[in-house]
Amino acid sequence: MYESEAYEILHIKRGSSQEEIKEAYAALSKKYHPEEHPDEFQQIHEAYMTLRRRSRGQRSERRNPEQEPKTMEAEDASVGEAAEKVTPKSNHQGTFSEEELEGTEQNTNTSEKSTDSTEAEAQGEYQEVTEDYGIEDYAEKNAENQTVWESQSESAQQEPAPQYDFDEVIEETERKDAQRLILLIQKALVEMEMLLKPPYCHKLKLFQQFFRKPEYRTALKQPVFMARFADMLLDSHLKPMIYDYIIEFYRFRGPDPADMYEEEIEGKYPYTLKDTFMGFHCGNTASSKLSFCEMKYQMIMARSLPIEVTQGTLEGDIKPGDITFFRLQSTSDNVLRAYIAHGEVLPVATRSFGAIGIFAIPEMGRFYRHVLIEKNFPHHGAVAFGHYGKALYEVFKYIGVPVDEIGYNQPKGVRYPTENPWG
């Protein structure tokens, strides 16, 4: 993975610090849990490791071999120099002159008398302290410890302290985790291959036990396992209840539209359930038109093709905003026909895959019945991001589309030509 991709996946700027990278990684790991979003988490983790390896390389380049810790000899020398600065200096011959000695003799004699009693008292106090606290014993032990410390220091100089690379330790742990996951996937595939054969393939309880195994929890959601499992199912003959269980486990049916409408749309937006629908883009949607974006593979195509063939699709929810839903086509009898409808993409999470959005068009249910179905339009339309119905209507007339062949969504209370006036 390139560094530019890694920065984009983690949603951070190029040149971000390690702390910013870790914070972004932690935030996205919470949002895309590996058990619920294995593909997203794998991509986030790969981006994180890419930027960490980059940081490690920069640190090694900045490392200066001349910046070595000081040796004990250097430290001893500096201590010696400091001691020389503190030690009082004598004359240039290293002895005191007679004048200096005579000048100090009198002072010494007088001070001796005054300090005799003081020294005696201090000596007595010191003796009491040594007896109470065992200072002499401590001094002996300290001397022994000093000898041990010196020997240890010498050996430390001879044997340099080991250097630990914590990033490498973490990477090694992650490699081991990846290896364990691969082994679990292989084990799960072998077990599933046995289940798909008689007499086990007719027993729902065996499949339920398989999918509930805690050790397989992560492995069963990995794209590698799912792709191989899909290939196995093509050649299998299972009971409908087993197929239903597998579909429910992987949530292939997707969310219930009625539940989504009740939870996210009803009472918040001026649309009925029949006014809303899920708009799915079969190809790549421009990243600028997606609320979030990540590079993945085409899950529908991957059911029958190798995953590497289907890689390169952009996944994400379409940005909310105004849209124009339209189509222009020729009929079998060479007549141009079109439709135009204004609507919007709602700011509601789709809980699905691909480039997808929840669309809302006023009176969409009636428009679908009396225009799309009645006029034999196929199940595909075009989307323009914005309200451009006026311009499209004029363009269609200009290229020769008959006015009565340009359908649009009639407002509430305005009937379509074939609509029953009594509802």
Domain with 389, as residue range(s), is 257-408
The residue out of 250, 268, 301 marking a domain boundary is 250
DSSP 386: S
pLDDT (0 to 100) of residue 128: 47
209: helix, coil or strand? Answer: helix
What domain count does the chain have? 2
- Could you give the CA distance from residue 381 to residue 371 in angstroms, rounded to a whole number? 13
What are the pLDDT digits (tens) for 369-410? Answer: 999 999 999 989 999 999 999 999 999 999 999 999 999 999
Axis crossing angle, helix 38-62 with helix 18-31, rounded to the nearest 10:
170
**Which pLDDT band holds residue 156 (cuts at 50, 70, 90)?**
low
Residue 160 lies in a domain: no
Residue 101 lies in a domain: no
Greatest mean pLDDT among 15-24, 129-138, 194-203, 294-303 = 194-203
- Could you give the CA distance from residue 345 to residue 360 in angstroms, rounded to a whole number? 6
Residue 402 lies in a domain: yes
Q: Do 395 and 277 lie in a common domain?
A: yes
Name the least confident of 8-22, 70-84, 163-177, 305-319: 70-84
pLDDT (0 to 100) of residue 177: 84
Residue 291 lies in a domain: yes
Residue 254: C-alpha distances to residues 238, 249, 257, 259, 353 (Å): 22, 11, 9, 11, 9
pLDDT (0 to 100) of residue 363: 96
* 75: pLDDT strictly greater than 50: no
* 113: pLDDT strictly greater than 60: no
Across the range 57-84, mean pLDDT stands at: 46
* 336: pLDDT strictly greater than 50: yes
Q: Do 288 and 215 lie in a common domain?
A: no
What is the chain's mean pLDDT, rounded?
77
Q: Do 243 and 270 lie in a common domain?
A: no
What are the pLDDT digits (tens) for 192-226? Answer: 999 998 888 889 899 989 998 888 888 888 888 88
Q: Do 270 and 375 lie in a common domain?
A: yes
Residue 15 lies in a domain: yes
pLDDT (0 to 100) of residue 258: 83
Q: Do 404 and 296 lie in a common domain?
A: yes
Across the range 38-50, mean pLDDT stands at: 81
Q: Do 265 and 230 lie in a common domain?
A: no
What are the pLDDT digits (tens) for 343-379? Answer: 999 999 888 888 999 999 999 999 999 999 999 999 8
- Could you give the CA distance from residue 225 to residue 192 in angstroms, rounded to a whole number? 10
Q: Which helix (H) or strand (E) holds 277?
A: strand 276-281
Across the range 37-43, mean pLDDT stands at: 79
Q: Do 207 and 294 lie in a common domain?
A: no
The residue out of 218, 250, 282 marking a domain boundary is 250
**Domain CATH for 50:** 1.10.287.110
**Which pLDDT band holds residue 43 (cuts at 50, 70, 90)?**
confident
Residue 73 lies in a domain: no
* Position with higher pLDDT, 36 vs 161: 36
Q: Do 231 and 311 lie in a common domain?
A: no
Residue 319, Cβ density class (10 Å: 0-12 exposed, 13-18 middle, ≥19 buried):
middle
Q: Do 314 and 387 lie in a common domain?
A: yes
- Could you give the CA distance from residue 372 to residue 365 in angstroms, rounded to a whole number? 10
Q: Do 236 and 267 lie in a common domain?
A: no
Give the pair of three-digit tokens for residue 70.
């000081």
pLDDT (0 to 100) of residue 360: 97
Residue 54 lies in a domain: yes
Across the range 224-246, mean pLDDT stands at: 86
Q: Do 382 and 336 lie in a common domain?
A: yes
Residue 241 lies in a domain: yes
Q: Do 285 and 372 lie in a common domain?
A: yes
Name the least confident of 1-5, 37-41, 75-79: 75-79
pLDDT (0 to 100) of residue 151: 59
The residue out of 250, 271, 288 marking a domain boundary is 250
Q: Within 10 A of 212 (CB to CB), how many other CB atoms are there?
A: 10
* 234: pLDDT strictly greater than 90: no
pLDDT (0 to 100) of residue 288: 93
